């Protein structure tokens, strides 16, 4: 082998082997991508370097962020990686990501909780800081452009069948909201909430669909609309 050319396998790279195994063990069926926190043993910069090396060697695919300045959004094993794992007697029969075309599946970052009752702090879901996990979604059901997800807490939107524990899918606004009753994630006084947005006489009305919760009326300059809710994911644990 040419000593000036890096090896394209990981047989003599224990750190790369450890990260590859960690990705697989975090999600043996490929249903989600692990977070950097799950993979981090030392410094995050070291994990990023190892992921770069695994990607260059063809063991990992990464879903990229919309901007080149942001970190990548997800880590997925390739057929080459699954073959290496099988050679080490790992059961990879349930891992699906390598066999699903990237055009059919997109991963959306779950960026923490949002209240559907009383607003809560948004600090836990600053993008690229505290991603809880990455959720695979069918591309055909999503618009072109960035999407993210938030987990609902509270019951103020039960009239729209949005209940505690649901994960709402959110599309950031590229312009001004219409204010004709669309369901939005609104940031008010550094707190976030899910509500219907109606604009009346120049003011933002944040309306619940549960009559037990009041309407909030705010001046537009006091409200930042983070995005429009376009769907949700619900996982029922009854009977599990």
Residue 68: CB partners within 8 Å, gap ≥ 6? none
What is the rounded distance in angstroms from the CA atom of residue 132 to the CA atom of residue 150? Answer: 10
Residue 198's nearest CA partner among 208, 187, 188, 189 is 208
**In order of start, what are the domains of the chain with their CATH numbers?**
14-99 (1.10.10.10), 106-233 (2.10.109.10)
Q: Is 195 noted as a catalytic residue in this protein?
A: yes
3-state secondary structure of 66: coil
Catalytic residue among 27, 57, 72, 195: 195
Tens digit of each residue's pLDDT (9 = 90 or more) over 223-235 = 989 899 999 999 7
| pLDDT at 121 exceeding the cut of 50 | no
| Dist. CA 65–CA 114, nearest whole Å | 22
Catalytic residue, chosen from 27, 33, 72, 156, is: 156
Q: Please say whether the beta carbons of 10 and 17 come within 8 A.
A: yes
How confident is the model over 141-175, as pLDDT tens digits? 888 888 888 999 899 999 999 999 999 999 988 77
Bigger pLDDT: 167 vs 69: 167
Task: Report, as an integer, the average pLDDT of 219-225.
Answer: 91
Give dist(CA 109, CA 127) in Å, integer.
Answer: 8
H or E segment to which residue 96 belongs: none
pTM: 0.56
Is the backbone of residue 192 left (phi > 0), alpha (psi -120 to 50) or beta? beta
For residue 183, the tally of other CB atoms under 10 A from its CB is: 20
Which string of b and e fits 62-98 if b means at least 16 CB within 10 Å?
A: bbebeeeeeebbbbbbbebbbebbeeeeeebeebebb
Q: What angle do CA 102, 103, 106 make, to 5 degrees?
A: 70
**CB of 184 closer than 8 Å to CB of 195:** yes
């Amino acid at each position: 082998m040419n000593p000036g050319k890096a090896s394209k396998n990981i047989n003599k790279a224990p750190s790369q082997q450890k990260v590859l195994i960690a990705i697989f063990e975090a999600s043996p069926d490929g249903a989600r991508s692990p977070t950097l926190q799950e993979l981090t043993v030392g410094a995050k910069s070291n994990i990023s370097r190892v992921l770069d090396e695994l990607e260059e060697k063809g063991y990992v695919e990464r879903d990229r962020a919309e901007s080149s300045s942001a970190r990548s959004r997800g880590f997925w094993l390739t057929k080459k990686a699954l073959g290496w794992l099988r050679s080490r007697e790992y059961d990879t029969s349930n891992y699906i990501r390598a066999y699903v075309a990237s055009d059919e599946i997109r991963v959306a970052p779950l960026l923490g909780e949002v209240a559907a009752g009383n607003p809560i702090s948004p600090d836990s879901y600053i993008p690229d800081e505290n991603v809880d996990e990455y959720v695979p979604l069918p591309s055909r059901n999503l618009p072109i452009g960035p999407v993210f997800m938030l987990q609902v807490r509270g019951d103020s939107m039960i009239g729209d069948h949005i209940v505690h524990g649901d994960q709402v899918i959110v599309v950031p606004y590229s312009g001004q909201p219409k204010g004709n009753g669309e369901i939005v994630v609104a940031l008010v006084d550094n707190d976030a909430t899910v509500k219907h947005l109606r604009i009346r006489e120049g003011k933002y009305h944040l309306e619940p669909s549960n009559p037990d919760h009041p309407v909030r009326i705010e001046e537009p300059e006091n409200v930042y609309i983070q995005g429009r809710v376009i769907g949700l994911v619900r996982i029922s644990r009854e009977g599990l």
